[in-house]
């Protein structure tokens, strides 16, 4: 990994603890731009992406916790489910389910995972993470 390049990426993106919806959107957009690179993601970009995912998830978890404390009568906000994330990644890269079905062993298992009827295993999550150049936690419940 090139520390200079990593520093330049950090300076350009300026990741920090998220304290507002606007900052959340900004970092979410930066993460999506990196994920769109797919296999062309450099090691420095992968590391920045992992940091962004951590910051975004931490903010979303804290928002959920504070909303639960504020009003227990309100329905819980919906977080992106692993199968929704997988579908978005396929769409963003112009891929079809047939492009990833080998990770699931057969087309039926892939369809079930994409519909949310089947959970993605840790092994499948790691294969998908390598394929999409994204953190494996995105694919796990």
Q: What is the largest CA-CA distance in the chain?
A: 50
CB 128 within 8 A of CB 103: yes
Q: For residue 70, what are the CA distances in angstroms to 24, 49, 60, 109, 110?
A: 20, 31, 15, 40, 39
What mean pLDDT comes out for the span 45-69? 80
What mean pLDDT comes out for the span 18-29? 89
More confident call, 129 vs 69: 129
For residue 75, is pLDDT > 60? no
Read off the pLDDT of residues 93-122 as tens digits, 9 standing for 90 and up: 889 999 999 999 999 999 999 999 999 999
């Amino acid at each position: 990994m090139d520390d200079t390049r990593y520093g330049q990426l950090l300076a350009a993106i300026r990741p920090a603890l998220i304290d507002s919806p606007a900052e959340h959107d900004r970092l979410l957009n930066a993460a999506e731009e990196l994920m769109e690179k797919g296999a062309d993601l450099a090691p420095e970009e992968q590391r920045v992406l992992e940091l962004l995912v951590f910051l975004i998830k931490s903010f979303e978890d804290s928002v959920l916790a504070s909303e639960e404390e504020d009003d227990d009568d309100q329905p819980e906000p919906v977080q992106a489910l692993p199968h929704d994330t997988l579908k978005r990644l396929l769409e963003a890269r112009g891929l079809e389910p047939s492009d990833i079905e080998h990770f699931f062993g057969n087309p039926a298992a892939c369809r079930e995972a994409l519909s949310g009827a089947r959970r993605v295993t840790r092994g499948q999550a790691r294969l998908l993470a390598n394929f999409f150049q994204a953190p494996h936690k995105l694919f796990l419940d």
